[in-house]
Chain A
Amino acid sequence: MPRYYTEEHEWIDVDGDVATVGITDFAQGQLGDIVFVEVPDTGAQLSAGGDAAVVESVKAASDVYAPVDGVVTEGNGQLEEDPALVNSDPEGEGWFFRMTLSDKGQLDGLMNAAAYKEFCDSL
């Protein structure tokens, strides 16, 4: 299952026509203690680069963007009870939402793991 990354520090796992989206370990480290996550409603229409979710650390609220176009099929309800999952397991249990892929071609514009690591090291 290929995983892609955005310059806004989202990751996206693609499995056929469905993808899972979250924020990267680098992102959670920058944010610090996460106290609230707002995931999109099922059925929400997302467009690449548009607002998809909100993550709130002790300090501030940050927007999470949709990496690609698509429709939300599921938000991670666990984050409502336990937002700190994003700190403890950002690229696993701390996923944000699942979505359909309207245009798989959009994945070509995203980074793979090696490119993303290089991108973070350059920051």
Chain B
Amino acid sequence: MRDDEDDTGEAAVETATLPLDAWHRAKGARMVEFAGYWMPIQYEGIMAEHQWTRANAGLFDVSHMGQLILSGEGVAEALETLVPGDISALKPGRMRYSLLLAEDGGILDDLMITGGDHELYMVVNGAVKWDDIAHLREHLPDAIGLNHMDEQALLALQGPKAAAALERLVPGVGALVFMQAGGFDWNGVPLGISRSGYTGEDGFEISVPAAHVGALADALCAMEEVKPIGLGARDSLRLEAGLPLYGHDLDPATDPVEGDLGFAISKRRREEGGFPGAARILGHLADGAPRKRVGLLVDGKLPVREGAKLFDGETEIGVATSGGFAPSVGAPIAMGYVPTGLSAPGTAIAAEVRGKRVPCTVAAMPFVPHKYVRKQGA
């Protein structure tokens, strides 16, 4: 028996450790190399951790992600030359999902941007954070400051019981709504908390000084509704939520319309343009892109994974970019790219796995409804 995929990758550079490395190992995590770091893939098992997060609250260490602060007069306008979102309209404490775009409109990264007072806080993907920093530094005016907060750890607490649990430690945090952030205090430790995440559940992301992340993780996991959750379940949760994973479902060859992320191109930006690749992207918005990211429900039990070719009859039409067994669906699901003409939910296609054709149906995403808390008292 041997894994088809080599979890350890081809790390030429020495794999780094995160502030919680010893904490994960003490909790029995199995560690794998991911984005240049040793990270927990699972503790008790992916299936159990996935179900726990959907029913209770799961604690994820996402400290590999890059936390950046951009600052200076006109920072929002400057960033708007690189992303298609309406950043100028972002009020302090409000967040937006956006995309770092290459000159041709291809996606260099997807990221979260939080408004501040003449500054922006951004969370970018761990695997490409160094490229992002270089790109931002190269294209932003020198007057805009860029601070990589590499002394900060990042935790995500996700699930229907996340709010009640975190409120116990950090009173007042429950007043945040989805995509809202604020500064809080926990026993004298400053925390930057947003109501956001990447599982489709209600939940929070918590930026905490690395020196205090162990104590915070302990305090969170001391509550009966909280358990640590690994990358394996993080992946199955985000797949069910229909959320793309950069480097797999999105890449520099893909523009936001192809990636089915048109919502990230704000109304004003559609009217005014002025972001990289605007001609291509606005053209795709008006006339449709040649291909589109879709969800796939897989017939039977055979998982369709990243790299599986997609077929319409005998014609190869695209490729699956993520896929696997979906614990909350109880069946395999996938994401992939198909011609826009074949992207309507209900369209029957097939995926090829080990020479076999597996019937699939294009499905609306998310596969599991989002549980975001958008209004207070909701």
Contact A54 B354 (CB under 8 A): yes
Q: List residues 23-82 of chain B with CB under 8 A from any CB of chain A.
A: 41-42, 45-48, 50
CB < 8 Å neighbour of B46 from A55, A59, A63, A64:
A59
Name the prevailing secondary structure of the B interface residues.
mixed
Tell whether B327 is near chain A: CB-to-CB under 8 Å.
yes
Tell whether B375 is near chain A: CB-to-CB under 8 Å.
no
Give 16 pairs: A residue, B residue, CB < 8 Å, sorted on A.
A27-B1, A32-B42, A32-B45, A32-B232, A33-B47, A35-B303, A36-B303, A55-B1, A56-B302, A58-B50, A59-B46, A61-B305, A62-B4, A63-B2, A63-B4, A80-B301
Tell whether A10 is near chain B: CB-to-CB under 8 Å.
yes
Tell whether A65 is near chain B: CB-to-CB under 8 Å.
yes
Nearest chain A CB to B319's CB is how many angstroms away? Answer: 17
Which residues of chain A are near B305, meaning CB under 8 Å? 60-61
Name the prevailing secondary structure of the A interface residues.
strand
Tell whether B272 is near chain A: CB-to-CB under 8 Å.
no
Tell whether B3 is near chain A: CB-to-CB under 8 Å.
yes
Range, interface on chain A: 20 to 34
A-B pairs, 3 with minimum CB distance: A35-B325, A33-B47, A58-B46
Nearest chain B CB to A34's CB is how many angstroms away? Answer: 10
Which residues of chain B are near A17, meaning CB under 8 Å? none
Nearest chain B CB to A28's CB is how many angstroms away? Answer: 9
Chain A residues with a Cβ under 8 A of chain B: 8-10, 23, 27, 31-33, 35-36, 38, 54-65, 80, 83
Nearest chain B CB to A75's CB is how many angstroms away? Answer: 15
B2, B7, B46, B236 interface centre (most CB from chain A within 10 Å)? B2
Task: Give the residue name and chain of the A residue nearest to B231 (CB).
Answer: A59
- The answer for the CA separation of A33 and B301 in the assembled complex, in Å, is 14
Contact A8 B1 (CB under 8 A): yes
Which residues of chain A are near B47, meaning CB under 8 Å? 32-33, 58
Tell whether B203 is near chain A: CB-to-CB under 8 Å.
no
